[in-house]
């Protein structure tokens, strides 16, 4: 009787897990199928296309009206630069909050976290006016520039990332830095040569999360970028739903599949650091 009960309980768990997997994979498989469908339309679309063609992928790289390959390149560049700068800034801030004791430390932590409580769309108008004003003084950081967009992303990336990285730094024994300082190392040398190598898992987590968020961000990019050649992929793809949506569904799907590859490759490259980076940072705060 006990074995029978255990069998049905295990069966129920496996069926539930299978349903969740199917639910998660079905949209992905549908988009991949549509990207190989030469009909380039939603009409008659099925999970398994009747014929397979690479025409949609050719249009991604050859279309002059919709330079999708350029949009992907812009998104990758903005994502990599933003993520790298966020890791540097966040690690410095988190190290200070974790190791130093100064007046306003707790208030600073909570203030940096409160900034991200409000959604970006609430600040879109003020951010636009701020970047517009900055652009009058420094055109390279103004409206319709990738540098200006990166600066905006950096401004809103400190809160949660600093908390997550601080929690990981708290798990690293301070005796390691004290030993280095006894040998003559400065606080910055201890941070750079001792802490950062040990904190590679959380650095990888922050880099990946920031890259995904920046790469797929739409609202601020659509507000601050106005010219087609500087669009990110998220902004560029919305052109496909302005008109004649069904007739360009195949190209849209092909661009979506290619646009997802950088995140997939980056995830696979950083996979060995992700589990330890996410779990260790939650041990204590």
| CATH number of the domain bearing residue 133 | 1.10.3720.10
CA 16 and chain centroid, separation? 29
Which string of DSSP letters, residue by residue, matches 158-188?
A: SHHHHHHHHHHHHTS-HHHHHHHHHTT--HH
Collapsing DSSP states into helix, strand and coil, what is residue 190? Answer: helix
d(CA 71, CA 135) in angstroms, rounded, equals: 23
What does the block give as tokens for 276?
Answer: 């330890």
Tokens of 6: 């255990």
- 111 three-state secondary structure: helix
d(CA 114, CA 158): 10
207 lies in a domain?
yes
DSSP conformational letter for 143: T
Tell me whether residue 8 is in a domain: no
> Looking at the domain assignment, is residue 14 inside a domain?
no
Say if 209 falls within a structural domain.
Answer: yes
**Count: domains in the chain:** 1
Tell me how long the chain is.
Answer: 285
Q: Is the pTM of this model over 0.85?
A: no
The C-alpha atoms of residue 265 and residue 239 are separated, in whole angstroms, by: 26
Residue 211 belongs to a domain: yes
- Tell me the per-residue pLDDT of 164-191, one tens digit each, with 9 for 90 and over: 888 888 888 888 888 888 888 887 888 8
Domain containing 81 equals 36-280
Q: Is residue 26 part of a domain?
A: no
| pLDDT the model gives residue 78 | 95
Residue owning tokens 């990981």: 168
User: 185 with 118: CB under 8 angstroms?
Assistant: no
| Inter-residue contact 262 to 72 (CB < 8 Å) | yes
- 27 found inside a domain: no
Three-class secondary structure assignment of 215-235: HCCCHHHHHHCCCHHHCCHHH
Kindly give the parts of the chain with pLDDT less than 70: 1-5, 7-8, 40-46, 120, 241-247, 275-285
Residue at 87 is within a domain? yes
Contact present, 202 and 277 (Cβ < 8 Å): yes
- What whole-number distance in Å separates Cα of residue 140 and Cα of residue 146? 9
- At 279 the pLDDT is 54
* pLDDT tens-digit map of 150-159: 999 988 777 7
């Amino acid at each position: 009787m006990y074995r029978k009960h255990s069998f049905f309980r295990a069966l129920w768990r496996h069926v539930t897990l299978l349903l969740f997997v199917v639910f998660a994979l079905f949209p992905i498989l549908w988009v991949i199928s549509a990207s190989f469908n030469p009909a380039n339309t939603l009409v008659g679309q099925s999970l398994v296309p009747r014929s397979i063609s690479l025409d949609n992928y050719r249009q991604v790289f050859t279309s002059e009206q919709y330079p999708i390959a350029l949009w992907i390149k812009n998104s990758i560049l903005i994502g990599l630069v933003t993520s790298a700068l966020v890791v540097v800034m966040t690690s410095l801030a988190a190290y200070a909050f974790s190791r130093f004791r100064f007046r306003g430390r707790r208030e600073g932590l909570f203030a940096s976290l409160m900034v991200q409580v409000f959604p970006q769309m609430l600040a879109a108008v003020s951010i636009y006016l701020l970047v517009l004003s900055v652009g009058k003084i420094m055109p390279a950081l103004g409206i319709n520039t990738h540098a200006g967009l990166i600066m905006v992303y950096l401004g809103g990336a400190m809160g949660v990332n600093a908390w997550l990285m601080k929690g990981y730094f708290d798990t690293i024994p301070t005796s390691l830095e004290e030993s280095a300082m006894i040998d003559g190392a400065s606080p910055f040398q201890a941070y750079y040569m001792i802490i950062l190598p040990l904190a590679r898992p959380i650095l990888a987590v922050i880099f990946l999360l920031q890259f995904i968020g920046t790469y797929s961000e739409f609202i601020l990019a659509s507000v601050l970028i106005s010219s087609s050649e500087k669009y990110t992929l998220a902004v560029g793809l919305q052109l496909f739903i302005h008109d004649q949506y069904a007739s360009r569904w195949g190209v849209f799907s092909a661009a979506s599949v290619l646009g997802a590859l950088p995140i997939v490759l980056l995830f696979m490259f950083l996979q060995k650091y992700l589990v330890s980076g996410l779990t260790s940072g939650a041990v204590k705060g």
